């Protein structure tokens, strides 16, 4: 977009008008290939970080909010979508965190498929040498976790709906697409979902 940005970084801290809340006008961040940097959680920056990145020329401005901010010497539209100039590789292994494990399992109990009271279960219990790893931990609801107790699958006569595995970043991102955040600005939609219904004229 052919909009010249005259704002300098040292002016960002001196934005005069309007006063904006910290959480207002979040900016969607795309990788250099125009895919979201992350789907879940969706890669969003505050408007302050977005403007800093623009001033440092680390990003291309893809779209804007209909909102102008002014400093002493310049004004600019708040960016709503930015694309990084340098591609960030996504092929590193995802971190083994509670959140990522829930995401891998689709926020569902690996035994009964319900979505309530999710906890974690060691498939091979610790007393039998089971370790805390991608391959041995599943999301489990409290009742299933309680039912299984410290027993093996066989002992508990329970069946896993899927075998736990170490997900790739790509797999987690694909999984994240199924869980859109509550708020989506209209300028983000082109970059998020191919399957979103196109508005009829």
- Single out the residue of 109, 87, 3, 107 nearest to residue 37, CA to CA: 87
Min. distance of Cβ 104 from Zn ion in angstroms?
Answer: 16
Min. distance of Cβ 105 from Zn ion in angstroms?
Answer: 11
Task: For the segment 13-52, give every residue that binds Zn ion (CB under 5 A).
Answer: none
Q: What are phi and psi of 49, to 5 degrees?
A: -65, -35
Min. distance of Cβ 108 from Zn ion in angstroms?
Answer: 8
- Quick note: the x/- pattern for Zn ion over 103-132, rule CB under 5 A, is ------x-xx--------------------
Among 42, 54, 144, 172, binds Zn ion (CB under 5 A): 144
- Single out the residue of 35, 66, 71 nearest to residue 55, CA to CA: 71
Min. distance of Cβ 109 from Zn ion in angstroms?
Answer: 3
Instruction: Return the range that interacts with Zn ion (CB under 5 A); candidates 14-22, 86-94, 138-146, 173-181.
Output: 138-146
Instruction: Give the span between the Cα atoms of 50 and 79, in whole angstroms.
Output: 7
Q: Tokens for 45?
A: 């920056």
158 near Zn ion, rule: CB under 5 A: no
Give SS3 for 124: coil
Instruction: Give the span between the Cα atoms of 172 and 166, in whole angstroms.
Output: 10
Provide the binding-site residues for Zn ion, judged by CB under 5 A.
Answer: 109, 111-112, 141, 144
């Amino acid at each position: 977009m052919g909009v010249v940005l005259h704002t300098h970084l040292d002016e960002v801290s001196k934005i005069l008008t309007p006063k904006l809340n910290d959480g207002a006008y979040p900016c969607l961040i795309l990788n250099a290939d125009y895919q979201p940097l992350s789907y879940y959680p969706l890669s969003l920056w505050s408007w302050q970080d977005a403007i800093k990145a623009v001033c440092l020329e680390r990003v291309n401005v893809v779209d804007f909010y209909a909102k102008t901010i002014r400093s002493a010497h310049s004004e600019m539209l708040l960016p709503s979508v930015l694309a990084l100039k340098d591609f960030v590789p996504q092929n590193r292994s995802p971190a083994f965190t509670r959140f990522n494990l829930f995401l891998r399992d689709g926020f569902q109990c690996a035994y009964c498929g319900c979505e309530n009271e999710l906890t974690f279960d060691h498939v091979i219990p610790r007393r039998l040498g089971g370790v805390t790893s991608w391959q041995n931990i599943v999301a489990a609801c409290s009742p299933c976790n309680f039912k299984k107790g410290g027993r093996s699958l066989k002992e508990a006569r329970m069946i896993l709906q899927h075998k736990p595995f170490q997900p790739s970043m790509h797999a987690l991102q694909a999984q994240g697409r199924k869980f859109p955040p509550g708020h989506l600005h209209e300028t983000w939609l082109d970059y998020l979902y191919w399957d979103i219904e196109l508005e009829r004229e």
